[in-house]
Chain A
Amino acid sequence: MFIYDGSFEGLLTAVFEAYRLRDFADITPAENYQKGLFEEARRVVSAADKAARVSARLLALSGDVLRVVQYCFLAGLADKEKIIFAYIRRTLSAGRSLNGNYADPVVAAALACLKKVAREAERLKGLLRFQELRDGSFYAAIEPEHCILPLLAGHCRARFSGQGWLIHDARRGIALVYQDGDLQLFDNSAVHNARDKHAAHELAYQELWKIFHQNIAIAGRKNPKLQKQFMPVRYWKYLTEKN
C-alpha cells in the first residue's frame, strides 16, 4: 500500500515509486487510509522531479493520456486512484495510447471517470450563479461532486474578463479568484455568507430572473420530472430561480 498526500504531484510520485520498487500495490490518499492488519504501508513523500518524470513519460505517449489522468484525479470517487493507476499501467505496458479502445475494461473505466468529471464541469458552466457584491465583484458558490473548479477557470476567464469574480467550492473549501486579470486557486478559503454584502440592485435582478424563468414555461406542459432529469435537485441549493 502506498500512501500519498492527496496532491496530484503526490499521486504521480507514488506511481514513480511503484515502478521503481516493482511493487504495484494500491495507492491511497492519507485521509482515507486505515491500517490493515498485515498490510505494509509506505508513505510517499511528494517529489516534483519524480512526478515530472512520470508526467513526461505519459505526455510522450500522447497528450490525451496525461489529460485522462488529470481529469480522473479531479473525480470525487473513492476508487479514483485505483482507476488511474490501472489505466497508467495498462497504457505504459502497451507503450501507446489506448484511449480509442472503449472495449478495454481498464481504459473504459478511466474514460467513464473522465466523462463524469467533464460532464459536471460542463453542467456547472451553465448552472453557476453569480451574485453582485457591493464592491462590484461577483460571487458564486457551488458544491460539485467532483473537483471541477480548475476546469471552469479558462471558460470563466474568457467570458467574464471585465469583472472581478470568485467561485467558491463550498464542499472542498477552495476558491477560484479572478482579480485584475489575475487568476488564482486558494485552499482553505473561508468565504462568508455573501447575502449581507449584496450590491444595491442585486436582489432586483434576481427577482427579474425568477419572473422570466416562471413565465417562459408553458403552463399546460409542466413536466417537473424532465426538469429534474436535466437539472438534478442536488444543484438547486445555489440556483437563483429555485430559491
Chain B
Amino acid sequence: MDLQEKLKILSAAARYDVSCASCGVSRVLPQGLGSAVSAGICHSWSDDGRCVSLLKVLLTNYCLYDCAYCVNRRSNDLPRAAFTPQELIDLTMQFYKRNYIEGLFLSSGVRHSPDRTMEELIEVAGTLRERAHFYGYIHLKVIPGAAPELVRLASRYADRLSANIELPSAPSLQLLAPDKKPQVITRTMELVASAAPAAGQSTQLIVGATPERDLQIVTLAEELYRRRNLSRVYYSGYMPVNTDRRLPALREEPSAAAEHNRLIRLREHRLYQADWLLRFYRFKAGEILSPEYPDLDEFVDPKTAWALRHPEFFPVEINKAGYADLLRVPGIGVRSAKRILQSRRFHSLDEQALKRIGVVLKRARYFLICSGQRLDSARQYTPATLYHFFTAQEKTLLPGQEQLVLLGG
C-alpha cells in the first residue's frame, strides 16, 4: 500500500479524536528543527471548521477491541493500514518544515497488546526527538493498561499525554466498551498524572451515546480538573458511525439526521461553555447545574442561565466590583474583566468606556450599574422577561413588557 493510501485511511480513522491543541509548553533550542509556543498555533481549519494544529493520525487502525461507538472496532469491515515508524517520522518532519503543522498527535488501535502498541508509539516519538532532533509539539495517546515504565518513558518524549475516559460513567463504559475496564482507565490516568508530561494530561469522552445528563458530565469534568489535575477535557458529540443495538438508532430520514446533528453540536457547544466556566470563570459544577436543572439550556449560555436564576446577585457595580464578581456578569469575559480593573484606576467607567473596553453591552447592560447609575436604556426586568428577550432575538424590549423589579434596585 502506498503512503498516500495509508495517510488517507489513518487520518480518516483519527478524525473523531477531538483534541488538536498544541498549547501548554514553550521551548526554543539552538539546534534541530522546531520550537513550541505556549499558546499553541492553529495552522489550518478543516472543512468541518475545526482547528488543525497537529498531524493527527493513528499508527494503525487494526484493533483487537470491539467498542460499540468506535469506527475502528474489530467487527467493522473497513480498509486497515499501519504506518512504519520511518514513514511517520518523515511525514512529521516534512510537514513541519513546510509550516503545515505544530507537531504530531499520534494515537493507535491496539493491534497486539496495550504494551506493544505503547512501545511502538514511543519508538516514533523517541526517534523524532533523539535521532531527528525534532523539537515541535508531540501529543501521544496512552493506551489503557500500558505498563507504568512505558507511561513514564512516553512522558519523556511527549509534551502532552492523554488517556481517553471514553464515556461519562462506568456502567456506560461496561455496556459499550466491554474490552475496556473502568479501573484500568482510571489507573492509567493516575499513571499519566504521576509521570507529569510538560503540557499536562487531557482526556475525551463521548456525549449523547449514553443517557447521562449534563449535570453528571459537568460534575465529572470538575472532578477531573480539581482532583486529577487534568489540563483539558474534550467532549465529543456522538456521531452515528455504527449500527448497534446498544447505541441510539440511526436516523434514516435526512431531516431527522440533520436535527440530530444540530442538537448534538449544540450540546457539545454548551458543554464547552460550561467547561470554560469551570476553568476560567471560577464556577463550581453545582452552580452551573443542579438536580433541579440537570441539563444545560438550549437557548441561553450557561453563564446567562446562572445569572437569570440569581437575580439577588445583580446588579454588579462596575466601578467597585472585584474580578470574580465582574466575571459573573453575562457579556463580560476574562479579557473585559481584566481591562475594567486596569481602566478604572485611571477614571471611573461609564457606558462609552465599557463599549471601548469590549464589553458585550447588548447582554451586560441588564446586569450592571456604573457609579450607581443604570445604563439609560436598561430598565429593570424580571428574569423571565429577560429570558424571553434573549431567546426571542427581539430588537428592543417594549416598556409594556416591564414587570416586577427583581434585578436589585
Interface residues of A (CB under 8 A from B): 98, 100-105, 108, 122, 125-132, 138, 140, 155, 158-163, 205, 207-209, 211-218, 220-227, 229-231, 239-241
Contact = CB atoms under 8 A, between A and B. Distances in A.
B315 to A, nearest CB: 19
B209 to A, nearest CB: 15
Interface string B336-350: 000100111111010
A217 B50 contact: yes
12 contacts: A126-B53, A126-B99, A159-B35, A161-B30, A208-B91, A209-B95, A211-B11, A214-B47, A217-B48, A218-B16, A227-B46, A231-B44
B49 A216 contact: no
Given A103-B353, A222-B48, A129 B98 contact: yes
A221 B4 contact: no
Q: Which of B12, B28, B47, B91 has the most CB of A within 10 A?
A: B47
Contact of A163 (B35, B56, B97, B353): B97
B210 interface: no
A215 B97 contact: no
A227 B49 contact: yes
A217 B4 contact: no
A226 B4 contact: no
Nearest to B30: A161
Contact of B56 (A104, A122, A128, A216): A216
A162 B32 CA distance: 6
Contacts of B8: 211, 215
Nearest to B98: A130
A128 B109 CA distance: 33
Given A205-B95, A216-B46, A102 B342 contact: yes
Interface in B305-347: 339, 342-347
B11 A103 contact: no
Contacts of A132: 97-98
B347 A103 contact: yes
Q: Which of B33, B35, B45, B357 has the most CB of A within 10 A?
A: B45
Contacts of A101: 342-343, 345-347
Q: Which of A218, A225, A230 has the most CB of B within 10 A?
A: A218
Given A98-B346, A101-B342, A230 B97 contact: no
Given A103-B353, A208-B3, A223 B100 contact: no
Interface in B344-401: 344-347, 349, 352-354, 356-358
A167 B14 CA distance: 32
Interface in B282-304: none
Given A208-B4, A208-B91, A227-B45, A138 B98 contact: yes
B47 A222 contact: yes
Contacts of B261: 220-221
Contacts of A140: 99
A117 to B, nearest CB: 17
B265 interface: yes
B147 interface: no
Contact of A138 (B16, B48, B50, B97): B97
Nearest to A226: B49
Nearest to B40: A126
Contacts of B353: 102-103
A132 B352 CA distance: 51
